[in-house]
Amino acid sequence: METFREEDLRKIRLFQSVDFDAIKGILDACTIRSLGAGEVLIAAGQGNRTVYFLLEGHVRVHLSSIRNQPTAILGPGESVGEMSVIDHKPASAFVVAAEPVRLLAMEEEILWSLIHSSHAAASNLLIALSTRLRNTDTVIFDNSDSGETDQDDRHYGTVDALTGLHNRHWLEIILDRQVQRAALSRRPLSLIMIDIDYFKTFNNRYGHAYGDHVLYSVAHTLSDYLRPTDVIARYGGDEFVVALPEMGFETAMDAGGRLHRAVMNAVPVTPDGSAIPHPTISIGLATLKEGQTGADLIAEADQALNRAKNNGPNSISA
């Protein structure tokens, strides 16, 4: 998989003055795309849910038809696709590679998560859009009247910027669906809540930059030891929640133990290559009971987590 360097991102206007360490998860969720000369990136009249940031090469912007003269030529640091991502209407211009290009592709939900996570990125996006609206020769207008959009999806980021996991807002929506599915199928559903022990003390001792690396490490370690059907989210602060569909109590306890061992064996490493002392974790487990809602299941797992911490942290409780 092709990667990008921080110096590549520094050329992009959206990322100017943005703390890259604070958005590692978002950057991990982006992809690199390469196009040959003449390839179409965005087609007029079609939907687009991705913002593209030019790393190398140039693209041409054609209104109405590719046969028309380009109304703009954009190069490294510039972006395309924001307007259709923001208003959910079909693109009104063609964007075509003028030469071989490399682009950073950021899906819609990733963009909104970045905007919610970074004041600098939000300011940069506002400035970029304002500049385009003032320059009517290069703005990509969208005059179509498509249907109404889902305001919840547009106004809330669903990805945690630091870890790359989904966030609490997304979890609460998905968990309600999981509960309904479990009730209809009469299949079990278990929930694990994970908390890093004494994380505030750890942050105060080693610094927030080290704390961020630990959160990132825990998130990716947990993800590596889950099934494709499992659901994981950063619930907030130093808490993570894992939903285990079709998994009853005993099997879920085994899964909790496996996750606990995996995290304890992980060794977070800083960019300079130094290893970070790893705090312990506590785990609370709950299995769905008849009539419970997603909120009920979370509350029960939270109570179990409190018991684990009260029994002496670095343990699992139900």
Catalytic residue selected from 238, 254, 296, 302: 238
How far apart CA 160 and CA 26 sit, in angstroms, is 7
Kindly report the backbone phi and psi dihedral angles of residue 266, in degrees, each rounded to the nearest multiple of 5, phi listed first.
-75, 150
**In Å, what is the CA distance from 279 to each residue of 216, 258, 274?**
13, 17, 16
Active site residue 238: yes
According to DSSP H, which parts of 30-118 are helical?
Answer: 82-87, 108-117
Tokens of 133: 């609206």
According to DSSP H, which parts of the chain are helical?
Answer: 6-10, 24-29, 82-87, 108-117, 119-134, 151-155, 168-185, 199-206, 208-224, 249-265, 294-310
Active-site residue numbers? 238
